[in-house]
Amino acid sequence: MKVYISATLRNFFGRNSVIDASGSTIKDILGFLTDEYPDSKEILYDASGKLRSFIQIYVGSENRTETDKWYKELKEDDEVLLLPAIAGGAPNESIISDERRKEISFDDKEIERFGKHLLLREIGVKGQKRIKAARVVVIGAGALGSPVIQYLAAAGVGTIKVVDFDEVSLENLQSQVIHTSRDVKRPKVASAKDKVRNIDRSIVFEDENSKIDTENIEEIIDGYDLVIDCTDNYKARYLINDACALLGIPLVFGAIYQYEGQVGIFNLNSGPCYRCLFPTPPEPGLVPTCAEGGAISPLPGIVGSIQANEALKLIIGIGKHLDGKLLTIDSLYLNSRILKVGKNHKCPICGTEPSIFKVEDFDYEEFCGLKEQENEIPVEGFTPEELAKKIENDEPITIIDVREPHERAIRRFPNAIAIPIGQLARRKDELDPDKDTIFICKEGKRSILAINTLREAGYTGPMYNLKGGFDAMKDIVFSHEGAWL
């Protein structure tokens, strides 16, 4: 039986993308995997032994995540997919009403500009008028937002609101093609505005240079026809989904990681929402983000283009789309699948007995594991300067690097011991409880998870986090060993 492992999980399965597993049921397959790859228990199951809710199990296009489906007999040619959160249907009516469409007119210049659309039978004049009448919010002007914003503008979407709080940095330019070297240190929304103006100055561009939160999300998206999620973190993803579900606004979702991408449509015509697929996010640090794990530069172009395509089909009202489905793309092995996403009637926001009625009533910091619990021992840490001083003074310390192998290959941390998070509990005897142990990762988030993992495993030695992670030490540590400022 072939089991396909998503990229975000492969480090727990010997970096294999496909595993030949023996077993006649999902229960058997999971038992085989955890026996062959003991580290996978950490990612698959929580402390109580339940399958983590951010992981879905598919057989072909059928979702068999519920435990009562684990005992159903598998066929010899069945393919099993382990799908973590990272992030069609019959032709539908347009989300733009006929009344609004009839209010739109074109001048000669617009007829020439959109001539190739007007020639398409499925679009024509009516469809192009709907595109011009549409009001779309794009949240995130980074890797995914780059193609989405530019293709929506090129297609003639009448009003585009772009929401982002960040500034352009040099490392963004590898994949965020809406920005250029001249835009470094500028707000991303300002850079995006310039690009849209260069494409079509008649487009109404609304720039929102702010970070979405429970206080502003509903005001930001209320009154718009469609929201496109181009963010890169779980808190934003659930916040956007919930606001769209409460306001009845369709959501085009996209996510990327390394070589893989996901695209889906949620909250459309009482269909499933993102929570129906992934009820809760993974614990912070358990699954690396795109920023931590990287992504090949064309991948957001592929995924973002599909998001823009799905958005335009919803606006025009043509074709099959991804409502109730999730498209997964593996650009490394050129695989793609369309998986069914069913409505979860127990969903707290769109189910039959909802418990969430207002965005501000829900604590997203706690939900996404970002809030420190009152009874949780705070994780102490050292600044890069403090750690550098300890190393220069040759103090007796142990440095544990929990980064991925490809991250360590780019830049090593001198004299650090590499131990993946999934191996920490069983390798705790390798640590010296009489020495300070400092944990490092890329941004200082996974290392906190590493410390809490060892605490749960009973390790009592002094443990510290490198504040800001390896990124914060760029001015102190060079790529060759021993080069300290």
Q: Residues with catalytic annotation? A: 290
* Distance in angstroms (rounded) separating the CA atoms of residues 297 and 146: 12
Cβ neighbour number for residue 13 with a 10 Å cutoff:
21
Given strand 397-401, what is the order of strands in its sheet? 381-382, 463-466, 436-440, 397-401, 417-418
* Distance in angstroms (rounded) separating the CA atoms of residues 479 and 401: 15
Give the helix/strand (H/E) hosting 252. strand 251-257
Give 44-87 as a 3 state SS string: HECCCCCECCCEEEEECCEECCCHHHCCCCCCCCCEEEEEECCC
Would you list the DSSP string of 225-238?
SEEEE---SHHHHH
Per the DSSP assignment, residues forming a β-bridge with 399 are: 438
φ, ψ of residue 140 in degrees (nearest 5): 110, 115
φ, ψ of residue 120 in degrees (nearest 5): -80, 125
Question: What is the separation of C-alpha 411 from the centre of its chain, rounded to a whole number of angstroms?
Answer: 25
* Distance in angstroms (rounded) separating the CA atoms of residues 296 and 182: 23
* Distance in angstroms (rounded) separating the CA atoms of residues 429 and 423: 11
412, exposed or middle or buried, with CB in 10 Å at 0-12, 13-18, 19+?
A: middle
Cβ neighbour number for residue 378 with a 10 Å cutoff:
8
Work out the end-to-end distance of the chain between its first and last CA atoms, rounded to an integer number of angstroms.
53
CB 258 within 8 A of CB 298: no
* Distance in angstroms (rounded) separating the CA atoms of residues 18 and 33: 12
Candidates 257, 282, 232; CA nearest to 404 is 257
φ, ψ of residue 430 in degrees (nearest 5): -75, -15
* Distance in angstroms (rounded) separating the CA atoms of residues 473 and 209: 29
